């Protein structure tokens, strides 16, 4: 509940029907503030303060606001001078328009004119408060989306503590976006910019502040204690934003002054929790050795290995400094995704405990309920987003979708999706950054029996142990390529790992989680050959998984592959390695960490 200081003003949160709004609700509750939801146009008149925690695609947000009659009332609210806090899309929608909407239109209709919401300019033009366009990151020198932790730099030299709004140049904040407002020496944007962030060689606006408006490109509700402080500072302000933020200030710094030789992007350490039912029907966190999650001891009855309760471990890893937490339902859903209340409750409860990104995976696909009701992948994902997930992980369904696409290509079709896959459905509505594809490759060793057709097909992605500096000594006399599997490694597919990775990027995935059946549970270190192969194949972020046995393995995979994130499970669950010690080792190797 709100304290006496905050109860005198009405705080409202705008939910236009997409994305994870539970996170901002949980954050406000933790900070001691009560709030109400904007559920109809008339509610804007009751609001004294407004937060717009937009998540997803720009065009989807604009279209939903217009269809619900909320677009014009939002414009009127901002024009009234009452305080406004926009988050991510809630910041971008302040601009006149976004290249994201145009890109989505081009991909959806192949560059031809068709009827539909995306062809109507009214559905992709922003509020126009800021006369500037949202552009797209260049992926030539970096992975896109910009997904992870980064710093901020104040645009004005006199940004003392009283004008920082809870922001600090020494802290890290969580970003997840492919599009941004590029900073320039142009008063149309420089007079609005409060801070900038650099990703690769590009400098973009990370917060805007003018009059009653304050907005962040990053997600404060997912930026740990540093992000909570930003929200707290805005909420605790008892002055009218216009009078507080129109104080005289120094001129904005030039782009050249703000640009640094190296960006402030941090590597991510992710804790993964494989969740499944044990033999008693309870959801537990488990971990397999090469995907076998049952105890080796026959005397134990080969019970499912139980390493703890999902919510308790999630909270533990957040407090230990995990940059992200991943919950994978490795037995998929008991009946149907939308009827699996135990797993939904795990997500809801976990979201109450953590203020860093939460990924959920397992069974995110088109399904049919036991009563015959059809559920689209988008409907399933939406339920999990609203339960508290920030990203959705797709596994077997992704491989099947790429196979279908390749069959169309072989029949003379284009290297594009058909709009029906789970990846396409979810990325269209929520943006590419909301979709993670988890792949499970297995080594196929070459030999005299390898067919000439396979040798030719996989020649460009075959690893020759003798010539690789990253191969273990025991593998120097071997060569191999990586074949994809589905259903927890039980079913082999004809796809190579490179074919799958490139295919899911085309379909709209924003990140790839690379597992290794061969390294899983071995403690031998990440498969550096595999990770390098993935990094060279795609332009989206890659997460390394499987095989970590000590802190040095994380530093190795970051330095030798330039991967954006690394994930571990068993060594964290068993207490063999602490997240803090991983980050310390990485810093000792000159890596930037949160």
> Hey, which residues are catalytic here?
88, 219, 221, 274, 440
Q: How far apart are CA 431 and CA 426, in angstroms?
A: 7
CB 194 within 8 Å of CB 208: yes
274 sits in which H/E element: strand 268-277
Q: Where are the alpha helices (DSSP H) in 354-395?
A: 377-387
CA neighbor of 265 nearest in space, from 175, 355, 156: 175
How far apart, in whole angstroms, are the C-alpha atoms of residue 73 and residue 69? 8
Query: Which is it for strands 202-210 and 193-199: parallel, antiparallel or unpaired?
Result: antiparallel
Contact 580, 321 (CB under 8 A): yes
Interior angle at CA 590, CA 584 and CA 583, nearest 5:
20
DSSP state of 433: G
Q: What angle do CA 150, 387, 2 make, to 5 degrees?
A: 80
Phi then psi dihedrals of residue 125, to 5 deg = -80, 135
Q: Which run of H or E residues covers position 239?
A: none
- Report the alpha-carbon angle 428-103-382, nearest 5: 15
How many other CB atoms are found less than 10 A from the CB of residue 301? 9
Residue 336 CA to residue 334 CA, distance in Å, equals: 6
CA distances from 590 to 36, 169, 329, 354, 555 (A): 46, 19, 35, 28, 9
Residue 419 backbone class (left: φ over 0; alpha: ψ -120 to 50; beta: rest): left
Distance separating the N- and C-terminal Cα atoms of the chain: 31
Q: Is 65 exposed, middle or buried (0-12, 13-18, 19+ CB in 10 A)?
A: buried
As a whole number of angstroms, the distance between CA 282 and CA 309 comes to 9
What is the DSSP secondary-structure string of 165-213?
TT--TTS-EEEEESEE-B--S-HHHHTTEEEEEEETTEEEEEEEEETTE
Q: How many CA atoms lie within 13 A of 128 on its CB side?
A: 9
């Amino acid at each position: 509940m709100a304290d006496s200081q905050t109860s005198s003003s009405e705080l409202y949160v705008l939910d236009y029907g997409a994305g994870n709004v539970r996170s901002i609700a949980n954050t406000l509750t933790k900070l001691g503030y009560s709030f109400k939801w904007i559920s109809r146009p008339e509610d804007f008149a009751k609001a004294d303060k407004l937060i717009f925690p937009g998540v997803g695609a720009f065009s989807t947000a604009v279209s939903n606001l217009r269809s619900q009659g909320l677009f014009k009332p939002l414009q009127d609210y901002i024009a009234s001078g009452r305080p406004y806090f926009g988050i991510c899309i809630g910041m971008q929608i302040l601009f006149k328009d976004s290249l994201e909407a145009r890109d989505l239109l081009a991909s959806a209709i192949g560059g031809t004119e068709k009827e539909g919401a995306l062809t109507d300019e009214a559905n992709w033009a922003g509020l126009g408060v800021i006369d500037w366009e949202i552009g797209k990151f260049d992926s030539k020198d970096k992975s896109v989306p910009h997904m992870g932790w980064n710093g901020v730099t104040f645009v004005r030299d006199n940004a003392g503590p009283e004008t920082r709004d809870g922001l600090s140049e020494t802290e890290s904040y969580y970003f997840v976006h492919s599009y941004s407002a590029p900073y320039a020496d142009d008063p149309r944007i420089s007079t609005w910019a409060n801070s900038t962030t650099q990703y690769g060689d590009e400098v973009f606006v990370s917060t805007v502040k003018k009059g009653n408006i304050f907005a962040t490109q990053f997600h404060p509700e997912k930026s740990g204690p540093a992000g909570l402080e930003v929200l707290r500072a805005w909420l605790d302000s008892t002055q009218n934003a216009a009078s507080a933020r129109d104080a005289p200030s120094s001129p904005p710094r030039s782009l050249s002054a703000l640009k640094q030789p190296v960006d402030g992007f941090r590597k991510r350490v992710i804790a993964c929790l494989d969740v499944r039912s044990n033999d008693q029907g309870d959801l537990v966190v488990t971990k397999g050795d090469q995907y076998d999650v049952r105890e080796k001891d026959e005397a134990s009855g080969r019970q499912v290995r139980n390493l703890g309760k999902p919510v308790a471990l999630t909270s533990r890893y957040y407090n230990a400094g995990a940059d992200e937490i991943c919950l994978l339902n490795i037995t998929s859903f008991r009946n149907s995704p939308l009827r699996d209340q135990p797993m939904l409750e795990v997500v809801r409860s976990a979201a109450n405990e953590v203020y860093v990104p939460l990924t959920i995976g397992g069974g995110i696909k088109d399904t049919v309920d036991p009563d015959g009701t059809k559920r689209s992948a988008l409907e399933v994902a939406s339920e999990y987003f609203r339960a508290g997930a920030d990203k959705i992980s797709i596994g077997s369904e992704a491989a099947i979708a790429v196979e279908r696409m390749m069959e169309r290509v072989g029949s003379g079709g284009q290297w594009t999706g058909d709009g029906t896959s789970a990846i396409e459905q979810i990325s269209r509505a929520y943006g590419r950054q909301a979709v993670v594809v988890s792949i499970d490759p297995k080594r196929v060793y070459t030999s005299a029996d390898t067919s000439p057709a396979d040798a030719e097909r996989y020649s460009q992605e075959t690893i020759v142990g003798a010539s690789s500096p990253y191969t273990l000594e025991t593998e120097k006399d071997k060569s191999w390529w990586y074949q994809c599997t589905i259903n927890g490694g039980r079913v082999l597919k004809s796809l190579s790992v490179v074919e799958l990775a490139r295919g899911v990027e085309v379909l709209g995935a924003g990140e790839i989680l690379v597992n290794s059946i061969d390294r899983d549970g071995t403690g031998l270190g990440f498969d550096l050959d595999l990770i390098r192969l993935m990094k060279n194949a795609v332009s989206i972020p890659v997460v390394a998984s499987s095989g970590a046995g000590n802190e040095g393995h994380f530093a190795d995979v970051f330095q030798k592959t330039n991967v954006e994130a690394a994930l571990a499970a068993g060594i964290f669950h068993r207490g063999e390695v602490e997240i803090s010690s991983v980050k310390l080792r990485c810093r000792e190797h000159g890596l930037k960490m949160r």
